[in-house]
Amino acid sequence: MIRYGILGFGHHAIKRLLPGFAGAQASAVAGLWRRDPAKAEANGREHNIRIFPTAEELCASPEIDAVFVVSPDALHLPHLLLAAQHGKPVLCEKPLAINAAEVEKMLFATRAAGVIFGVAQNMRYNASVQLMREWIAEGRIGQPLLAHSQFCYNAEKSPRVWIYDPALATGGPIGDVAIHCLDALRFVLATDINEVSTLAHKDATSGAVESHAVVNMAFANGTMGAVSVTTRGSYRSSIEVTGETGVALCENGLTVDHPVDVVLYRQDKIVAHQRVSNADAYSRMLDSFSAVVEGRGTYLATGEDGLHNQRVLDAAYKSWHTGTKQIVE
């Protein structure tokens, strides 16, 4: 059993991670730290988890086998460096950092310390996403030509008050949820992103960060794609890939809250249809990382892979601010 310490025990940890740990077979929460000591105390009592007064004490504790960084984006780098300094494997939430230069520092530190570094791209463990990847790899839609993913939610109802703060957040919905969309498309297509062009909009509520955006992408395998996101809409998380001979799609394919239908079309007819549940995606992600910590298995979202996603985010924001297409380095 791998014992995790959570740095940044907020809304996401309570809503998503605790249920994920509850369903995991080889992963358990052994400690928490959060910026607000009063809230940390309340969380610890409610969920019967040991509270650490500082992030460093959690990372240094012999009762912690691995550190899960769930703090606001701007704190990911210092928290990962703490964990690496104490020789602890690190699983870090997305987006990994404020920019790719910070991720490069993360990779240098974890390699120097000889510790495992993974990204919490939980949607790679969604049954819906994995099934689409299988169908595409099997050639069921022919050569992929177009790919699209959309993620919408209403941030005005979100308890994560820091997501509008450019001092803490990588950005608006591009950094927050487009990262899920572009990563899911990369995963189902088994390729990287070469070029990015972005249109985005700010409003009075979002302030310095964007409220909705479209990120157009060219993939290394020749597929053209787009990710559209907003923090002003009703929830939606679709994923769709059009090939030369068919279309694979899943409405709300990135959700973990209810079963979804993965559908394969050819010539406007349904030729395959499978209902799947993503409810165990967090548990599967945690146990996959724990297995690697124990010296077995493969984790689907490495820190090296996460660097590419961060470079895509950098290119997306640069494209928006300059009005020009960007090459992903």
Q: Fill in the amino acid letter for 52.
A: F
Residue type, 189: L
Looking only at the bridges linking them, the beta strands covering 224-230 and 144-154 are parallel
What percentage of the chain has pLDDT greater than the value 70? 100
Chain position carrying tokens 């595409």: 136
* Span 124-278 CATH architecture: 2-Layer Sandwich (3.30)
Any idea where the domains of the chain sit in the sequence?
A: 2-120+284-302, 124-278
Residue 253: per-residue pLDDT:
98
Give residue 18's pLDDT. 97
Q: Which of 175, 191, 190, 188 is nearest to 240 (CA)?
A: 188
Say if residue 155's pLDDT is above 90.
Answer: no
Q: Name the band, by pLDDT with cuts 50, 70 and 90, for residue 163.
A: confident
Q: In percent, how much of the chain has pLDDT > 90?
A: 94
Average pLDDT estimate for 202-208: 90
pLDDT of 159 above 80: no
The full 3-state SS of 84-129, as one line of letters, equals HHCCCCEEECCCCCCCHHHHHHHHHHHHHHCCCEEECCHHHHCHHH
pLDDT tens digit sequence for 276-311: 999 999 999 999 999 999 999 999 999 999 999 999
Arithmetic mean of pLDDT, 321-327:
98
pTM more than 0.75: yes
| Fold of the domain spanning 2-120+284-302 | Rossmann fold (3.40.50)
pLDDT at 165: 87
Sheet strands side by side (includes 90-92): 27-33, 2-7, 66-69, 90-92, 117-119
The pLDDT, as a whole number, for residue 212 is 95
